[in-house]
Amino acid sequence: MTSASSDFADRHRELLEQALVAIRKRDYFSAYPESPSPKVYGERAAADGSAAFEAWRGQTFPVSTPGADGGVATETSPFGFPLEVTYPRVRPEGVDTLLQTAAAGMPAWRDVGPDARTGVCLEILARLHARVFELANAVMHTSGQAFVMAFQAGGAHALDRALEAVAYSYDEMTRHPATAVWEKPGRGEPLRLEKTYTVVPRGVALSIGCNTFPTWNSWPGIFASLVCGNPVVIKPHPRAVLPLAITVQVCQEVLAEAGLSADVVTLAAEDPADGLAATLAVRPEVRLVDFTGSSAFGDWLETHAAQAVVFTEKAGVNSVVIDSTDSFRGMCFNLAFSLALYTGQMCTAPQNLFVPAGGIETDEGHMSYDDVAAGIGAALDKLLGDDAKAVELLGAVVNPGVLERLDAAPSRGRVLVESRAVTHPAHPDAVVRTPLLLGLDLDDGELYAEECFGPVAYLIATPSTTESIETFRRTARERGAMTASVYTTDEGVLAAMRSASLDGGVALSENLTGQVFVNQSAAFSDFHGTGANPAANSSYTDAAYVASRFRIVQSRRHT
């Protein structure tokens, strides 16, 4: 262990211990305050972070990437302006140099051992936390998330998820002693061997980032791979480079201070036309791939990157089974919030709301199908009626594809709640839209079995809750799902829905009528994705997410 990395390990030992307890209990734990309030972070933090972000605009980002050639600037804020930050461009012909350099740093990074690597990673998280306002701005202006959400999901919660991944990795790397004495009894003297178990990395890890959650979805894999001894090449989404460029900058700074090769973590920005992710993913040096994005490319990676262990989060269709409720208003508010949050641009946002055509029983009496639609519509109006407040919930449309899908949707069903354009008070060029609620029937499966990523939800009339549950079960199994929820006052329905969720391999939220929403997944307690249906082949964070990122090599000798 180098002296600096030993210092880092000491500095963060208590935090590590807390995280190790939390992953065993899976109850509430958070290490990084989620409130951007000046009371928590100080009076200047917000302004300083904003200024730090603004200072990057139009600049060349000061990170060096082995094998890079020239620069690329590919980001435009969904709030309506180009970032014009230039990053080193990795072309396909630079990949050899990039991967050789990354791999060259591996033996020293391996040899410092799990404790020192954990110290380095926790120091990186601490320094990212010190830049959390800058990161929040960077996430906001690449993903289109509103500021508070970008601060939380892109900052504090992402740090918690990264810490969780580090804690799981540390736990797995240290579940056996580093040495053991094996003493086999026999007739005479026992046979005695001393054994040494060394954690060794898999090889170069590739992290392929996404547009909507550049940190929250990438950090768990990056830090799990890194702490297990693997060099990490980070290939950000071309529209969301800055949050990961800052990440790489901090990683390199801490690695260098610890006397290690800074190139253990590298940024591989690309011109999108180069298709760099596909080139990197099938390289023999690359033994781990983390990906968040489309099912098409995720499936391609799972099939073609056979030399690597591939962790994917792809697309699915998330269902809500509405059977009955003891809080009609609470249900409508909760659903409306889930549909509106970040314009439905979350892999966890509900899409298919199944409701019996004959309506449901509620605390306010029987509600017809149209009453349910109207209730959700009223809740959306209340949440989003004021433009200034609406934009803080909706954020901005992340890319033109979302807008195209939204514009094409109304012709496919009965418009129950219209989408409307919202003018952003601070960013007049931002594209902001409220959710569309479209009425469909059970036999419109060709529509609702496909993910329509963005602010489009379907209220699907079914013959009964039994058919609602069966359709949920089938679409989860066949098309995948990241979340499911149910509203019911009937224990039998609840049991049937729980069973269907196990069959569909999807996390279930039951009767959420308050301030917890189906799209939210809390680090250290909620597993994000299950790996048990086509929407994802892995979960944040369980043992399976980390245990394959390293290997154990033993040696033994007589004592």
Please name every residue paired with 309 in a beta bridge, in sequence order, or none if there are none. Answer: 288
Residues listed for the chain? 559
Can you give the three-state secondary structure of 13-77, one letter per residue? HHHHHHHHHHHHHCCCCCCCCCCCCHHHHCCCHHHHHHHHHHHHCCCECCCCCCCCCCEECCCEE
Name which of 47 and 181 has its Cβ closer to its own copies.
181
From 133-141, 146-154, 405-413, 523-531, span contacting its own copies (CB under 8 A): 523-531
Residue 195 in contact with its own copies, rule: CB under 8 A: yes
CA dist 72 and 86 (Å) reads 5
Residues 297-326 touching its own copies, rule: CB under 8 A, are 302-303, 306
C-beta of 32: minimal distance to its own copies in Å? 14
Residue 181 in contact with its own copies, rule: CB under 8 A: yes
DSSP codes joined into one string, 532-558: SBTTBS--BTSHHHHHTTEEEEEEEEE
Of 25, 44, 382, 389, the residue at the interface with its own copies (CB under 8 A) is 25
Name which of 93 and 183 has its Cβ closer to its own copies.
183
From 154-162, 188-196, 246-254, 363-371, span contacting its own copies (CB under 8 A): 188-196
Block residue for tokens 């260098």: 256
Residue 84 in contact with its own copies, rule: CB under 8 A: no
CA dist 94 and 276 (Å) reads 10
Residue 100 in contact with its own copies, rule: CB under 8 A: no
Name which of 15 and 547 has its Cβ closer to its own copies.
547
C-beta of 340: minimal distance to its own copies in Å? 20
Of 183, 364, 381, 392, the residue at the interface with its own copies (CB under 8 A) is 183
Residue 148 in contact with its own copies, rule: CB under 8 A: no
- Torsion angle (degrees, nearest 10) of CA 340, 343, 348, 351: 70
Spatial contact of 314 and 116, defined as CB atoms under 8 Å apart: no
From 212-220, 395-403, 412-420, 498-506, span contacting its own copies (CB under 8 A): 498-506
Residue 543 in contact with its own copies, rule: CB under 8 A: yes
Residues 408-437 touching its own copies, rule: CB under 8 A, are none
Q: Where are the alpha helices (DSSP H) in 387-537?
A: 387-394, 400-408, 445-448, 465-479, 491-504
Block residue for tokens 């030399």: 307
Structural tokens at position 386:
């004021």
Of 40, 55, 191, 495, the residue at the interface with its own copies (CB under 8 A) is 191
Of 20, 104, 148, 200, the residue at the interface with its own copies (CB under 8 A) is 200
Quote the radius of gyration of the chain (alpha carbons, Å).
24
Residue 108 in contact with its own copies, rule: CB under 8 A: no
- In 130-231, at which residue ranges do the beta strands (DSSP E only) sit? 179-184, 191-201, 204-208
C-beta of 235: minimal distance to its own copies in Å? 21
Structural tokens at position 415:
């418009």
CA dist 372 and 391 (Å) reads 25
Name which of 443 and 558 has its Cβ closer to its own copies.
558
C-beta of 232: minimal distance to its own copies in Å? 18
Residue 557 in contact with its own copies, rule: CB under 8 A: yes
C-beta of 154: minimal distance to its own copies in Å? 19
Residue 47 in contact with its own copies, rule: CB under 8 A: no
Of 86, 100, 198, 294, the residue at the interface with its own copies (CB under 8 A) is 198
Spatial contact of 162 and 132, defined as CB atoms under 8 Å apart: no
Block residue for tokens 């949920």: 472
Of 296, 385, 553, 559, the residue at the interface with its own copies (CB under 8 A) is 553
Residue 180 in contact with its own copies, rule: CB under 8 A: yes
CA 458 to chain centre: 24
Residue 39 in contact with its own copies, rule: CB under 8 A: no
Residues 229-288 touching its own copies, rule: CB under 8 A, are none
- The per-type count for the chain, helices as H runs and strands as E runs, is 22, 24
Residue 160 in contact with its own copies, rule: CB under 8 A: no
CA dist 517 and 347 (Å) reads 13
From 61-69, 174-182, 435-443, 460-468, span contacting its own copies (CB under 8 A): 174-182
CA dist 278 and 298 (Å) reads 11
CB neighbourhood size of 467 (10 A): 15
Size of the site for its own copies (CB under 8 A): 65
CA dist 350 and 553 (Å) reads 45
CA dist 527 and 262 (Å) reads 32
C-beta of 321: minimal distance to its own copies in Å? 13
Residue 544 in contact with its own copies, rule: CB under 8 A: yes
Of 14, 28, 39, 273, the residue at the interface with its own copies (CB under 8 A) is 28
C-beta of 203: minimal distance to its own copies in Å? 9
Name residue 436's amino acid.
Answer: L
- How many angstroms separate the Cα of 4 from the Cα of each of 112, 252, 426? 11, 14, 45
Structural tokens at position 296:
């098409």
Of 182, 364, 407, 463, the residue at the interface with its own copies (CB under 8 A) is 182
From 66-74, 243-251, 259-267, 520-528, span contacting its own copies (CB under 8 A): 520-528
Question: In the complex, which residues of this chain contact its own copies (CB under 8 A)?
Answer: 23-28, 107, 110, 172, 175-177, 180-185, 191, 193, 195, 197-198, 200, 202, 302-303, 306, 498, 501-503, 505-516, 522, 525-527, 530-532, 539, 542-544, 547-548, 551-558
